Amino acid sequence: MTKVNVYVTLRESVVDPQGIATKDALNTLGFDEVENVRIGKMIQLNIAGDQHEIESRVTEMCDKLLVNKVIENYHFEIEEAAGK
Amino acid sequence: MTKVNVYVTLRESVVDPQGIATKDALNTLGFDEVENVRIGKMIQLNIAGDQHEIESRVTEMCDKLLVNKVIENYHFEIEEAAGK
Residue B84 confidence class, pLDDT cut points 50, 70, 90:
very low
Is residue B5 classed as helix, strand or coil in its secondary structure?
strand
**Hey, is the C-beta of A70 within 8 angstroms of any chain B C-beta?**
no
How many Cβ contacts (< 8 angstroms) between chains A and B?
98
- Give the bridge partners for A72, in sequence order: A10
Find the CB nearest A44 among B37, B45, B46.
B37
Residue pLDDT, tens place only, B17-72: 999 999 999 999 999 999 999 999 999 999 997 777 899 999 999 999 999 999 99
ipTM surpasses 0.95: no
For residue B48, list chain A residues with Cβ-Cβ distance below 8 A.
33-35
For residue B45, tell me if it sits in a domain.
yes
C-alpha–C-alpha distance, residues B44 and A21, integer Å: 13
Find the CB nearest B35 among A39, A46, A57.
A46
For residue A81, list chain B residues with Cβ-Cβ distance below 8 A.
none
Non-local (6+) Cβ contacts of B15 within 8 A are: none
Helices and strands counted in chain A (H then E): 2, 3
For residue B50, tell me if it sits in a domain.
yes
C-alpha–C-alpha distance, residues A29 and B10, integer Å: 24
State which residue of chain B sits closest to A39, comparing Cα positions. Answer: B43
**Hey, is the C-beta of A45 within 8 angstroms of any chain B C-beta?**
yes
For residue B60, tell me if it sits in a domain.
yes
For residue B32, tell me if it sits in a domain.
no
Asked whether the beta carbons of residue A45 and residue B39 sit closer than 8 angstroms, the reply is no
**Hey, is the C-beta of B29 within 8 angstroms of any chain A C-beta?**
yes
What's the number of domains chain A is made of? 1
**Hey, is the C-beta of B81 within 8 angstroms of any chain A C-beta?**
no
Range of A67's domain?
Answer: 2-81
Instruction: Name the residue among A79, A49, A74 with its Cα closest to residue A61.
Output: A74
Domain harbouring B10, CATH code: 3.30.1280.10
C-beta atoms surrounding A34 within 10 Å: 21
Non-local (6+) Cβ contacts of B68 within 8 A are: none
Residue pLDDT, tens place only, A17-68: 999 999 999 999 999 999 999 999 999 999 997 777 899 999 999 999 999 9
Return the DSSP state at B77: E
